[in-house]
Amino acid sequence: MTNELPLWVPSEAYRNATPMHDFMTVCSARAGKDFADYDAFHAWSVEDRPAFWSAVWDYCGVRGEKGTKFLENGDDMLAARFFPDARLNFAENLLKHTGPGDAMIFRGEDKVSDRWSWDRLSAMVSRLQQAYRALGIGQGDRIAAMMPNMPETVAAMLAASAIGAIWSSCSPDFGDQGVLDRFGQIGPKLFICCDGYWYNGKKQEVADKVQTVAVKLGVPVLVIPYAGDAEALAKTLPDGKTLEAFVAPFAAKAVEYVQLPFSHPLYILFSSGTTGVPKCIVHSAGGTLLQHLKEQRFHCGLVEGDKLFYFTTCGWMMWNWLVSGLASGATLCLYDGSPFYPDGNVLFDYAADEKFAVFGTSAKYIDAVRKGGLTPKTTHDLSSLRLMTSTGSPLSPEGFSFVYQGIKSDVHLASISGGTDIVSCFVLGNPLKPVWRGEIQGPGLGLAMDVWNDEGQPVRGEKGELVCTSAFPSMPVMFWNDPDGKKYRAAYFERFDNIWCHGDFAEWTVHGGLIIHGRSDATLNPGGVRIGTAEIYNQVEQMEEVAEALCIGQDFDDDVRVVLFVRLAAGVTLTDDLVKAIKTRIRLGCTPRHVPAKVIAVADIPRTKSGKIVELAVRDVVHGRPVKNKEALANPEALDLFADLAELKS
CATH code assigned at 196: 3.40.50.980
Tens digit of each residue's pLDDT (9 = 90 or more) over 1-55? 455 799 999 999 999 999 999 999 999 999 999 999 999 999 999 999 999 999 9
DSSP secondary structure string for all residues of 462-525: S-EEEEE-S--TTS-SEETT-TTSHHHHHHHTSSSTT-EEEEEEEEE-TTS-EEEEEEGGG-B-
pLDDT at 517: 86
71-72/102-108 β-pairing: unpaired
Rounded CA-CA distance 205/401 in Å is 40
Residue 452 within any structural domain of the chain = no
pTM equals: 0.88
Residue 512 · residue 39 · CB < 8 Å: yes
Q: Which helix (H) or strand (E) holds 427?
A: strand 424-428
64-65/87-88 β-pairing: antiparallel
Residue 576 within any structural domain of the chain = yes
Rounded CA-CA distance 618/553 in Å is 10
Give the amino acid at 644.
Answer: D
| Helix, strand, coil tally for the chain in percent (to 5) | 35, 25, 40
Rounded CA-CA distance 133/164 in Å is 11
Name the domain count of the chain: 2
Is the peptide bond prior to 19 cis by the omega test (within 30 degrees of 0)? no
> CA geometry: angle at 462 spanning 461 and 465, to 5°?
125
Strand partners of residue 321: none
Residue 373 · residue 402 · CB < 8 Å: no
Rounded CA-CA distance 415/18 in Å is 19
Q: Which helix (H) or strand (E) holds 110?
A: none
Of 261, 287, 322, which closes a domain?
A: 261
Nearest residue to 442 via CA among 429, 452, 451: 429
Residue 18 · residue 301 · CB < 8 Å: yes
* Domain CATH number, residue 574: 3.30.300.30
Residue 543 within any structural domain of the chain = yes
pLDDT at 421: 95
pLDDT at 1: 44
Residue 316 within any structural domain of the chain = no
Strand partners of residue 284: 265
* β strands within 292-404, DSSP E: 307-310, 331-336, 358-362, 387-391
Q: Which helix (H) or strand (E) holds 282?
A: strand 280-284
How far is CA 25 from each of CA 60, 86, 447, 451, rounded to the nearest angstrom?
Answer: 14, 26, 19, 29
Which residues does the chain have with pLDDT short of 50? 1
Of 239, 261, 283, which closes a domain?
A: 261
Residue 228 within any structural domain of the chain = yes
Is the peptide bond prior to 148 cis by the omega test (within 30 degrees of 0)? no
pLDDT at 649: 85
Rounded CA-CA distance 373/367 in Å is 10
Q: Which domain holds residue 189?
A: 102-261
Rounded CA-CA distance 326/302 in Å is 10
Rounded CA-CA distance 624/639 in Å is 12
Residue 429 within any structural domain of the chain = no
Of 227, 245, 261, which closes a domain?
A: 261
Rounded CA-CA distance 314/177 in Å is 17
Count of H-run helices and E-run strands, the chain: 21, 32
Gyration radius (Cα) of the chain, Å: 24
Phi, psi for residue 483 in degrees, rounded to 5: -60, -30
Residue 339 within any structural domain of the chain = no
CA dihedral for 57, 333, 363, 604, sign (positive or negative): positive
Strand partners of residue 197: 204
Residue 39 within any structural domain of the chain = no
Give the amino acid at 646.
Answer: A
| Residues 594/597/600/604 CA torsion (nearest 10 deg) | -40
Strand partners of residue 242: 223
Rounded CA-CA distance 614/634 in Å is 11
